[in-house]
Chains A and B, each alone.
Chain A
Amino acid sequence: MLSFKIRGWNAYTPSLESADSWGNWLQNKYILPTDAPKPGLKNIPLMLRRRFTTIGKYSVEAAMPILAENEHIPLVFASRHGDVELTLSLLQSIANNEPLSPTSFSLAVHNAISGLFSIARKDRSEATAISASENLIPFALLEAATQLQDNEHVLCIICESPLPDLYKPFASSPPFPYAIAMVLSREEGDTFHLKSAPAIASEQGQNNELEELMALLLSHRHCARFPSTQDVEWTIQR
């Protein structure tokens, strides 16, 4: 078992920008409006701002409010599929024998968002970009919590977007793009315990990771469960 504290957290998708609105959505699971205003990122200079794709913008919106102005903090950036729309557009260009956009190519790497974030905040702390085909949330927290060995605080950003239709038959993805940011801390905030235990591999694999984590962060529940298709189950308790 691994214990850590969370100094602050924030989740973002357009139309769910406060803990209350997330709590309301979690209880009612209504379909989100698609015409909600997108984040403006007005605090980031234009020349840098244009490089942030959707989940990049959401990551910034989620993380900025829980960080101090000039705080230097290592980052664990986690996304299962990353900027999958961008990756697909590049693959389609290759298939059509079209030249690739250098900008898209440079932004399609998995650590592009953490790199831009580092430039935008002028923070040269280390950044780790990870991915996992299941149990992304427990693994992201495992990585961030272990980095508390070397750091007082670690920022963890988890973001995901729906898969393009082409990929939908092959993997699960959330109904809307979102980003969740958490500042893990040695000393400050509520205590959480991360644990893995042997389990009977369930055919259905994962439940809804986003809902599990949000219910835990909002204290709707005291234990979040992350089953997997492997013979292990992760839990996070508070």
Chain B
Amino acid sequence: MTDLKLDIKNMIIDALELEDISPDEIIDSDPLFVDGLGLDSIDALEIGLALQKKYGIKLKADSKETHEHFASVNALAALVESYQEKN
């Protein structure tokens, strides 16, 4: 597991109060929403806020790209990496 992916998993666990879940229980490529981890729309907003606080990334809540970025830990890691390269 890369450090970035571990950081993202810990960010998700903290932001969503998932203390009963350990980072290695979250599979990098698994869907975060509905199946897989089973998060809901409020969680999506909460992750959006956490991304903003931790990495300075601002996303539009209703855009198609945001949907894709939130698909999995892998997708979130790619988003953070591309953002960090640009800035």
Give A contacts to B, CB under 8 Å.
46-47, 50, 99, 101-103, 106
Contact = CB atoms under 8 A, between A and B. Distances in A.
Interface stretch (B3-11, B44-52, B70-78): B44-52
A46 B25 CA distance: 14
B18 interface: yes
A63 B21 CA distance: 27
A47 B38 contact: yes
A103 to B, nearest CB: 5
Contacts of A47: 38-40
Given A102-B45, A102-B46, A103-B16, 12 more contacts: A46-B20, A46-B21, A47-B40, A50-B16, A50-B17, A50-B18, A99-B49, A99-B52, A101-B46, A103-B17, A103-B42, A106-B42
A99 B50 CA distance: 10
A200 B49 CA distance: 53
A101 B49 contact: yes
Contacts of A99: 49, 52-53
25 contacts: A46-B18, A46-B20, A46-B21, A47-B38, A47-B39, A47-B40, A50-B16, A50-B17, A50-B18, A99-B49, A99-B52, A99-B53, A101-B46, A101-B49, A102-B42, A102-B45, A102-B46, A102-B49, A103-B16, A103-B17, A103-B42, A103-B43, A103-B45, A103-B46, A106-B42
Contacts of B40: 47
Nearest to B40: A47
Residue among A46, A50, A101, A102 with the highest chain B CB neighbour number at 10 A: A102
A103 B52 CA distance: 16
A106 B43 CA distance: 11
Nearest to B41: A102
Nearest to B48: A102
Contacts of B20: 46
Contacts of B16: 50, 103
Contacts of A50: 16-18
A99 B54 CA distance: 13
B41 to A, nearest CB: 9
A102 B45 CA distance: 6
The 4 A-B pairs at the shortest CB distance, nearest first, are namely: A102-B45, A50-B17, A103-B46, A102-B46
Interface string B26-65: 0000000000001110110110010011000000000000
A162 B20 CA distance: 28
Please indicate which of the listed interface residues B38, B39, B49 has the most CB atoms of chain A within 10 Å of its own CB.
B49
